Amino acid sequence: MRQRLFEQYYEQYSDAIYKYIFLLVGHKETAEDLTQETFYRGFKHYAKFQEQAQIQTWLRKIARNIVYDYYRRKRIIRFIPFVAQYEPPDMSPIPSEIVEKGEKIASLYKALSQLKLEYREALILRKMEGLSIKETAQILGWSEAKVKNNTARAIQALKKIVGKEVMLDDEGFRAFTK
């Protein structure tokens, strides 16, 4: 029964979780692996899910923790002697849906990858995924004030990178990226 339920969750939410992870790590294969890991951990720890949040919010929180684990491992590997030099994530393998939207959207995603991780997370969840401040705070484990501040700072930083021709208000950003 639990397996069948999780298969439904996977069908319903895997694309959204993959997109979220891809925007954080910037590499297609890594995002695919981390998406699988997210659903594996979700399945394994489903008994601990207390339904205080929606299942998608819970899965995003798991995905965020997995991404942080991924970055921690990368940092450790970078400092181990005799290991190949760490390279930042390659943002070139952009999903086809992004490529179809043209150069502006591609430059926006490239600019997004240049933001601090905290800013990127806030912007992705609030403006691209359309989550509320409360949902975003739950996923990130932040206060609502921190979500508001980091979102505003992320938009300002992104405007500096992309230029002022891109409108990044609540509705404009989502319309521009969808």
| Amino acid letter, 56 | Q
Mean pLDDT of the chain, nearest integer: 79
SS3 114: coil
Tokens at 143, concatenated:
């206060």
Please tell me the predicted confidence (pLDDT) of residue 46: 85
Total number of domains constituting the chain = 2
**Residue at which a domain ends, from 75, 93, 111:** 93
Neighbour-count burial of 163, counting CB atoms closer than 10 A to its CB (0-12 exposed, 13-18 middle, 19+ buried): exposed
SS3 147: helix
CATH code at position 113: 1.10.10.10
For residue 114, which of 21, 30, 23, 31 has the smallest C-alpha distance? 23
Q: What is the domain extent for residue 76?
A: 1-93
pLDDT in tens, 7-60: 899 999 999 999 999 988 888 999 999 999 999 999 898 878 877 778 888 999
**Residue at which a domain ends, from 93, 123, 148:** 93
**Residue at which a domain ends, from 67, 93, 119:** 93
Going by the DSSP 8-state scheme, the letter that residue 90 receives in this structure is P
- C-alpha to C-alpha distances, 90 to 31, 87, 135, 166, nearest whole angstrom: 12, 8, 29, 24
Please tell me the predicted confidence (pLDDT) of residue 97: 53
Q: For the beta carbon of residue 49, count every other beta carbon within 10 angstroms.
A: 13
pTM exceeds 0.95 = no
